[in-house]
Amino acid sequence: GMSSTAMKKKVLLMGKSGSGKTSMRSIIFANYIARDTRRLGATIDVEHSHVRFLGNLVLNLWDCGGQDTFMENYFTSQRDNIFRNVEVLIYVFDVESRELEKDMHYYQSCLEAILQNSPDAKVFCLVHKMDLVQEDQRDLIFKEREEDLRRLSRPLACTCFRTSIWDETLYKAWSSIVYQLIPNVQQLETNLRNFAQIIEADEVLLFERATFLVISHYQCKEQRDAHRFEKISNIIKQFKLSCSKLAASFQSMEVRNSNFAAFIDVFTSNTYVMVIMSDPSIPSAATLINIRNARKHFEKLERLDGPKHSLTMRMR
């Protein structure tokens, strides 16, 4: 069962039937690959799942079936039950929907219920199935949707993402959402910065172990690709799933060329770490020892809840 120290956070996943809510949940949290989501049937009423994230954070995910009868019930008989104590509302729009008016009406009903019951909830809108839109149209269509949604959401602020289960955009959106829920994230970043500076890394990323979402990073050197985090999440998650099909578990890897070395390694019991080094004079063995030495510090950090503790690390 859940340990008493676990922090439970309620996350509502809403949007009309067939918009892709259960598919994305299954890819991010249940190790589905995109093409396997075709087997998923429609969600009946609300499906509850508890996802343990980073050990002591439990996401209480309410995947709310989007058929009209269910939607009407959420706003009437189930209103208090559904919209009370919500930390995050994720509303999914099918970008190809032919019923935009109706979609927006349901979305606004949702926001009214959130304002009444959970006024401090954070709101995210995912403009989903973007792979169905012609590539040269995507920026424009997303921008228009985003403006509409921001206007309709007032007085609440909403953050919008364009997503598709067929590329890394899904990881970008969910990383940003989950990031908002991590209790001691500032402290984590401070320690990651110290670690990166001590070992003279260009960049260090921290991934949550089960989902491979990036939860924290520190960069010392400008990097060209703004989408590198979610691309790596996507690639490594696929690789990890391929390994598990062979009943092998993925522990670590090193990729090296003439410009840099990248190390991905199991870090704490709840994370993987990725370290990017561009100084060719630092041997792999030294970096791997430094990762190993930092492990126990970050393990300690995960166990402590308060911001009282700061790490000082001595590396070779």
Are 73 and 94 contained in the same domain?
Answer: yes
* Domain termination residue (choose one: 145, 180, 215): 180
State the residue range of the domain holding 286.
Answer: 186-304
User: In the predicted model, is pLDDT for residue 311 greater than 60?
Assistant: no
> Within its chain, how far is the Cα of 258 from the centroid?
32
120 shares its domain with 199: no
| 25 and 150 co-located in one domain | yes
Same domain for 67 and 46: yes
In this predicted structure, what is the pLDDT of residue 134? Answer: 96
Is residue 222 assigned to a domain? yes
**Whole-number mean pLDDT of the chain?**
88
* pLDDT band for position 31 (cuts 50, 70, 90): confident
Distance CA 47, CA 13 (A): 10
In degrees and rounded to multiples of 5, residue 140 shows phi and psi of -65, -50
Classify residue 1: in a domain, yes or no: no
Mean pLDDT of 300-306: 65
Burial-class residue 312 by CB neighbours within 10 Å (0-12, 13-18, 19+): exposed
E-only strand ranges, 197-241: 203-208, 214-219
Same domain, 207 and 236: yes
Region of poorest pLDDT, from 21-30, 149-158, 219-228, 275-284? 219-228
Tokens of 80: 């208090």
Residue where one domain finishes, among candidates 180, 198, 224: 180
Neighbours of 10 (CB within 10 A): 20
The domain that contains 218 carries what CATH number?
A: 3.30.450.190
- In degrees, rounded to 5, the angle at the alpha carbon of residue 242 between the alpha carbons of residues 239 and 246 is 140
User: Mutual orientation of helices 185-199 and 284-303 as an angle, nearest 10°?
Assistant: 160
Cα–Cα distances in Å, from 217 out to 169, 191, 201, 225, 277? Answer: 18, 10, 12, 14, 14
Q: Reply yes or no on whether the pLDDT at 204 is more than 60.
A: yes
What is the per-residue pLDDT across 51-108, written as a single tens digit (0 to 9) for each?
Answer: 888 777 889 999 999 899 989 999 999 999 999 999 999 999 999 999 999 999 999 9
Which of 26-30, 201-205, 250-254, 267-271 holds the top average pLDDT? 201-205
Residue 16, pLDDT > 60, answer yes
Q: Is there a single domain that holds both residue 125 and residue 218? A: no
**Cα 135 to Cα 218: distance, rounded to the nearest angstrom:** 31
The 10s digit of each residue's pLDDT in 223-261 is 888 889 889 998 888 888 888 888 888 788 999 888 899
Q: How many domains does the chain have?
A: 2
What CATH number did the domain enclosing 65 receive?
3.40.50.300
Geometric angle at alpha carbon 82, from 78 and 83, rounded to 5°: 115
Overall pTM > 0.85: yes
